[in-house]
Amino acid sequence: MSVGRAHHHHRSFLSCEEEGFRLSTMPAVGSFGNGKIHTRRKGHSRFVNKTGQCNIHFSNMDEKSQRYMSDIFTTCVDIRWRYMFLLFSLVFVVSWLTFGLAFWVIGLLHGDMEKNRGDFVPCVTQVNTFVTAFLFSIETQTTIGYGARCVTEECPAAVFMVVFQSIMGCIIDAFMIGAIMAKMARPKKRAETLLFSHNAVIAMRDGKLCLMFRVANLRKSHIVEAHVRAQMVKPRYTEEGEYIPLDQLDMNVGYDKGTDRLFLVAPLTVIHEIDEESPLFGISKQDLEMSDFEIVIILEGLVEATAMTTQARTSYLPSEILWGHRFEPVIFEERSQYRIDYAYFHKTFEVPSTPRCSAKDMEERKFPTSGANSFCYENELAFISRDEDGDGDGDPETEKDKSCPSELTPADRNQPSSRRESAL
């Protein structure tokens, strides 16, 4: 079935295949889960790169140059350093040339450029060519003052021009130096020392299915008032059939409980509880592999040294979310301090007892959750890298029941893994 998009000016339709999409059929509005129709994007481009850069490009902007020039200070701060140095040099050279030309014209009109008798008083002494006028302009604006050239009382226009150039020189100095200092003090580079885990994981935490990811601060200087946000970005169709390519849904990472505010002196695991309000509520492990969404993570805070706000971003695609995994420990207590081992920051281990069904199915079927003993056994299995048994073919409902175990049976607990047997 070909689904189209209507243009604003005329009723011509473009197929989604032409727009870079491949649709199997129309998905149910806001639905996920087994038996539901999925939409796949061909050549999907992520909205936010792993480096935090937003993958967007502006086009057909009306009066772009005028809008950017109206906020010239921000434009100067945002441009690259090489363009900043070029602009810095160009502004000063142009100002020197402009005022040098003004002094040359004043002297030309007064007759200073001609050979005059000894009692002739010029507007500016020792200025009888454009080069000498240009040098006088530089000496005036930079307050070098070599002493060979100076303005006299003969020409009020020359006196006014010296005063005007001095004022304009101060304004140019303040603007350019301020822009460079603001550019140097920007906390943009501070985000490079804020680290996110390569993958997010889905596992049980305190009896509930949760999405988890790690954040860390690589500097000893603190991020003040650090807080984290998460949003799911995915395409969807409205009930009227309107296609929204980048629909944004908030994901609660502890805003109600205050756990979204972080004391980021050691790596922390941010938790999103998959409940009824979560956009992941109806997604199972199988659905995750077929889903088309992106989870954008935004970490914000104040730089301790400058009190300026910094922001670090990353995102996770469904292929970067590991179902049934937990993060390896990175914090170890040694004598009178804690050691952070970043070699394990991105590493995860598998938890075989994690249910494969969605949180919605778990709630409807009232599956019990794993206890502490089960978790210890899961750790043992993780460290010996037990291979997961393959799924057998059978009735879908039966397979769905089998995919939601809360913990391993005693018989499974007594069965050693193949790698353990080989080690023995």
Residue 190 has pLDDT above 60, yes or no: yes
Q: Are residues 176 and 202 in the same domain?
A: no
Q: Given the structure tokens 């609660």, which residue do they identify?
A: 252
Q: Are residues 215 and 317 in the same domain?
A: yes
Q: Among 376, 374, 320, 326, which Cα is nearest to 350's?
A: 326
Number of domains in the chain: 2
> Poorest-confidence range of 43-52, 87-96, 374-383?
374-383
pLDDT at 367: 63
DSSP per residue, 153-213: TT-HHHHHHHHHHHHHHHHHHHHHHHHHHHHHT-TTGGGGGEEE-S-EEEEEETTEEEEEE
Confidence class for position 376, pLDDT limits 50, 70, 90: low
Q: Are residues 168 and 282 in the same domain?
A: no
Query: At 377, which CATH number?
Result: 2.60.40.1400
pLDDT at 231: 94
- Cβ 295 vs Cβ 283: under 8 Å: no
Q: pTM here?
A: 0.67
Confidence class for position 90, pLDDT limits 50, 70, 90: very high
Over range 64-82, report the average pLDDT.
85
Query: At 152, which CATH number?
Result: 1.10.287.70
Q: Could you say which of 159, 184, 209 is where a domain stops?
A: 184
Residue 84 has pLDDT above 80, yes or no: yes
Q: Coil, strand, or helix at residue 418?
A: helix
Position 31 in a domain: no
Over range 11-31, report the average pLDDT.
39
Q: Could you say which of 184, 204, 229 is where a domain stops?
A: 184
Confidence class for position 126, pLDDT limits 50, 70, 90: confident
* Token couple for 231: 């949003």
Position 30 in a domain: no
Residue 290 has pLDDT above 60, yes or no: yes
Position 296 in a domain: yes
Position 215 in a domain: yes
Position 122 in a domain: yes
Residue 129 has pLDDT above 50, yes or no: yes
Q: Are residues 371 and 228 in the same domain?
A: yes
Q: Are residues 196 and 326 in the same domain?
A: yes
Q: Are residues 244 and 259 in the same domain?
A: yes
Q: Are residues 199 and 320 in the same domain?
A: yes
Q: Are residues 177 and 194 in the same domain?
A: no
* Token couple for 282: 């109806």
- Cβ 166 vs Cβ 140: under 8 Å: yes
Q: Could you say which of 133, 158, 184 is where a domain stops?
A: 184
Chain segment 226-274, per-residue pLDDT in tens? 999 999 999 889 989 899 988 999 999 988 888 899 999 999 999 999 9
Q: Are residues 311 and 245 in the same domain?
A: yes
Confidence class for position 16, pLDDT limits 50, 70, 90: very low
Residue 201 has pLDDT above 50, yes or no: yes
Confidence class for position 127, pLDDT limits 50, 70, 90: confident
Confidence class for position 77, pLDDT limits 50, 70, 90: confident
Position 338 in a domain: yes
pLDDT at 217: 93
Which range marks the domain in which residue 271 is found? 190-388+396-423
Q: Coil, strand, or helix at residue 247?
A: strand
> Poorest-confidence range of 59-68, 265-274, 328-337?
59-68
Position 15 in a domain: no
Mean pLDDT value across the chain: 78
Position 45 in a domain: no
Q: Are residues 231 and 157 in the same domain?
A: no
pLDDT at 347: 94
DSSP per residue, 287-322: HHHH---EEEEEEEEEETTT--EEEEEEEE-GGGEE
Please list, in sequence order, all residues whose beta carbon lies within 8 angstroms of the beta carbon of residue 370, skipping any fewer than 6 positions away: 204, 353, 378, 406, 407
Identify which has the larger pLDDT, 79 or 371: 79
> Poorest-confidence range of 74-83, 184-193, 270-279, 295-304?
184-193
Q: Are residues 407 and 260 in the same domain?
A: yes
**Cα separation of 8 and 308, whole Å?**
42
pLDDT at 44: 64
- Cβ 33 vs Cβ 287: under 8 Å: yes
Q: Are residues 197 and 282 in the same domain?
A: yes
- Cβ 270 vs Cβ 19: under 8 Å: no
Sign of CA dihedral 382, 344, 258, 292: negative
